Amino acid sequence: MAPRSPDDRQDDQASRAGQGEAPRTPRPQGPAEPSGGQEPPDFGAFVSRSVRSSADRLKEGAGRRRPAPSEPPSSPEQRTPTPIRREKPSRYWRDSFRERSGEDVSASSGARRFLDGGQAPASGEPPEEGTGGGGGAGAWWQSLTSADGEGPNRRLLGLIALGVILLLIVIFLLTRLGGGGGGDETTPTPTAGTVIEQQPGGARSTPSPQEQQQPTTPQETPEPTSNVRRGGDNQRRPTEEGTPRSEVDREIAYGPVARACPNSCLVRVEGAKDATKLFADTGSRPSFAGDDIYWLVSTPDQIAAYEQDASVSLVRADGDTLRIYVVKIPKDRDDAPIADYGTVIDAAGRFRVIEVEQVPARVRGLADAGYAISKLAPPLPSVRDLHHEQPALSDIEIGALMGEVSYDNIAGTIGTLQGIGAGDGASLGTRYYTLAGNQIAAEYLFQEMESYGLKVWYEDFLTPEGILLVNVVGEVPGKDTSAVYGVMAHFDSISDAPGTAPGADDNSTGIAVSLEIARILAGYTLEHPVRITFVNAEEVGILGSNVWARHAQAQGVPIEGVFNVDSVGSNRQGRLLIFNSDARSSWMQDLMIRINDSYGLGNEIMSRQNPAIVADDNMVREQGIEAVMIARELYGWSPYHHSSGDVIDHVSVDNVMSTTYVVLLSVASLVR
């Protein structure tokens, strides 16, 4: 949500008091460090005096390529932000369709090349003497001419043509009667070799490509087989002629679990000699791990590799993890209470995997009894960019990064998020914290960051009413882990009718900025890591950021500064960009002001140090971590926030891109 008013601040303190927490008061602020020989104002506003308008630089352009490390930094004149269209992976089917439909394929040109290749002599002119292929050539020519030799023997040619036509008719009829033609083919009698096998759970296998290519006629009925095999080429018989050796090895490696998995399945793996190497070699990762027991969503090929090295059990014959949680049983308890919260679908050691009816799960009773509940992570994304070759960020002028920001990516993210959680074909969804769209959004963000090559994880927490929610955290690695920087945005939404809370500006825009920064920085080698954090339940008490900051402090993560991006898509205030922090965090405001002015981004900066403006960054600062808020409207300024009217039609994507430039270049200057 947009940063909130003092009255909302008091409500939050009262809410936390009701949860057993003491009301928080702002830490005493020390004097601000001097900047440029002047004392910054306390709780006031500072408007940059050196802003340069650059609206024309924000128009969509062709973009520029990333400079090679050997190229010199671009000059200030080359720093124009030029959004590009990102080349999308294969999952964007619309692009591949357009490319295929746009190919210029001309049948006539190919036919012309074929016909011109023979260089036949002109019609009616006999070949010169001595140039024929043999002594019968002249006699053959004379037989085709009339008796007087002056023209073609039309009667003979007509008979030849008629004979050819009759021959073609005979061949066509024989082909039809034999069942080899294209029209209405006769259906062969089903046999054990051609019937599709029905698998447990309704999954069915298809005939192998080799079986599909063999024509079946009534005269050649395939021999029945005692065992119908599944999985196409993976299931060829070792004795089958023409089967590559690799296919034989692959079939032998398939154990019972791999054969029982139709496409992707949730499996349990135990007893691996080196689980880390096994999962790395197979390109997989656990969705949950505990006591050397692993649950993973895997393909049949991956499962086959596990079966060579470990004990593997099939948990579910699909890879849907939305309703799947893991419960750990305390040492002095049994699993009897777990059945009241979901259906147990697997059990191993002290762990029970359950499927719940309502997402997010309501598990207050289990948690109060000492049972630990965790959300199972989603499957790996189908497309990942692992960035095998990465230039060092220090080798480029950071202004070049603006050319990598994609208008299409930002607009696409906002449009996708506003539709998540929509039901019954509705175009507007919801990410309200008690509804399924909230967890669907978490899975989307998890897989998006993982597709960029980031390491991603969930951080689970309970709301006061006992709903298990997750924050989603991804990390762009850095060489020096003594300092970590963060970019944060909340992903829940709210409205007067929570079932329709699209939250396009509040806060799909902040999410779009953060995802684009993650994608771009993942393509470089950084000096320090960057954590991209999507926090939950901001709209109902600013809960997720408080949990995240406490967790980071407890783990001793050396977070030096966090940029909290919230509601940055409005243009109702023109190019106004609002920063809020405290005295300790004011260096982050100064940095963004310098970036905005140096690169002529044209934002009108309002810089504040006001504890009455409440957002996720307040909770982070209260845990001792320096943080700054970036927004374009405060709470109550927008007629659309917290309503079903908060849609992309009321969002300025150009303003979102301008915010991306400011935050991206600021973070890049800290981690290069």
Of residues 176 and 643, more confidently modeled: 643
pLDDT in the model for residue 424: 64
Given 3-state DSSP classes, what are the helix, strand and coil percentages for the chain, each rounded to the nearest 5?
Answer: 35, 15, 50
Tell which residue, 659, 428, 429, has the closest CA to residue 563: 659
Confidence of residue 489 (pLDDT cuts 50, 70, 90): very high
Q: CA-to-CA distance for 52 and 602, rounded, in angstroms?
A: 5
CA distances to 411, 426, 445, 532 from 416, in Å: 9, 13, 11, 19
Name the DSSP class of 249. H
Confidence of residue 426 (pLDDT cuts 50, 70, 90): confident
The crossing angle, in degrees rounded to 10, of helices 407-419 and 436-451 is 150
Strand (E) or helix (H) holding 325:
strand 324-328
Instruction: Say yes or no to pLDDT of 410 above 70.
Output: yes
Tell which residue, 588, 583, 574, 558, has the closest CA to residue 667: 588
Residues 355/323, Cβ–Cβ less than 8 Å: yes
Instruction: Say yes or no to pLDDT of 72 above 50.
Output: no
Mean pLDDT throughout 339-352? 97
Handedness of CA 233, 236, 242, 246 (dihedral sign): positive
Helix (H, G, I), strand (E, B) or coil at 304: helix
Instruction: Say yes or no to pLDDT of 512 above 80.
Output: yes
Confidence of residue 663 (pLDDT cuts 50, 70, 90): very high
pTM flag (> 0.95): no
Of residues 445 and 203, more confidently modeled: 445
Confidence of residue 383 (pLDDT cuts 50, 70, 90): confident
Tell which residue, 404, 411, 413, 408, has the closest CA to residue 519: 404
pLDDT in the model for residue 20: 43
Confidence of residue 378 (pLDDT cuts 50, 70, 90): very high
Of residues 656 and 65, more confidently modeled: 656
Tell which residue, 630, 608, 620, has the closest CA to residue 27: 620
pLDDT in the model for residue 631: 98
Mean pLDDT throughout 189-216? 36
39-43, 105-109, 177-181, 297-301 — most confident range: 297-301
Residues 417/424, Cβ–Cβ less than 8 Å: no
Q: CA-to-CA distance for 449 and 518, rounded, in angstroms?
A: 7
Q: Any bridge partners for residue 605, and if so which?
A: 577
Mean pLDDT throughout 39-54? 35
pLDDT in the model for residue 173: 78
E strands in 36-129: 45-47
pLDDT in the model for residue 158: 78
Q: Which domains does the chain have, with CATH numbers?
A: 6-22+40-69+391-671 (3.40.630.10), 252-375 (no CATH)
Mean pLDDT throughout 516-540? 98
Mean pLDDT throughout 24-52? 36
Residues 516/405, Cβ–Cβ less than 8 Å: yes
Which residues are CB-neighbours of 593 under 8 A, at least 6 positions away? 48, 579, 605, 607
Tell which residue, 53, 57, 49, has the closest CA to residue 657: 57
Question: What distance lies between CA 2 and its chain's CA centroid?
Answer: 27
Residue 366 CB-density burial (10 A; 0-12 exposed, 13-18 middle, 19+ buried)? buried
Name the DSSP class of 506. I
The average confidence (pLDDT) of the chain is: 76
Handedness of CA 363, 365, 367, 373 (dihedral sign): negative
Confidence of residue 385 (pLDDT cuts 50, 70, 90): confident
Instruction: Say yes or no to pLDDT of 545 above 70.
Output: yes
Q: CA-to-CA distance for 541 and 619, rounded, in angstroms?
A: 10
Instruction: Say yes or no to pLDDT of 315 above 70.
Output: yes
Helix (H, G, I), strand (E, B) or coil at 345: strand
42-46, 48-52, 451-455 — most confident range: 451-455
pLDDT in the model for residue 178: 56
pLDDT in the model for residue 162: 83
pLDDT in tens, 257-267: 999 999 999 99
Mean pLDDT throughout 192-210? 35
Lowest model confidence (mean pLDDT) among 126-135, 226-235, 491-500:
226-235
pLDDT in the model for residue 508: 98
Determine what percent of the chain is predicted with pLDDT higher than 90.
60
Mean pLDDT throughout 157-165? 82
pLDDT in the model for residue 617: 98
pLDDT in the model for residue 160: 83
Residues 449/472, Cβ–Cβ less than 8 Å: yes
Start-end of H helices in 572-625:
586-598, 616-622
Query: Would residue 327 be called left, alpha or beta, if left means φ above 0 and alpha means ψ between -120 and 50 degrees?
Result: beta
CA distances to 6, 379, 505, 646 from 542, in Å: 14, 29, 18, 20
Of residues 111 and 268, more confidently modeled: 268
Mean pLDDT throughout 382-390? 79
pLDDT in the model for residue 373: 97
Mean pLDDT throughout 567-588? 97
Of residues 162 and 20, more confidently modeled: 162
And the tokens for 10?
A: 């008091």
pLDDT in the model for residue 211: 40
pLDDT in the model for residue 575: 97
Strand (E) or helix (H) holding 210:
helix 209-213
Tell which residue, 573, 579, 648, 643, has the closest CA to residue 610: 579
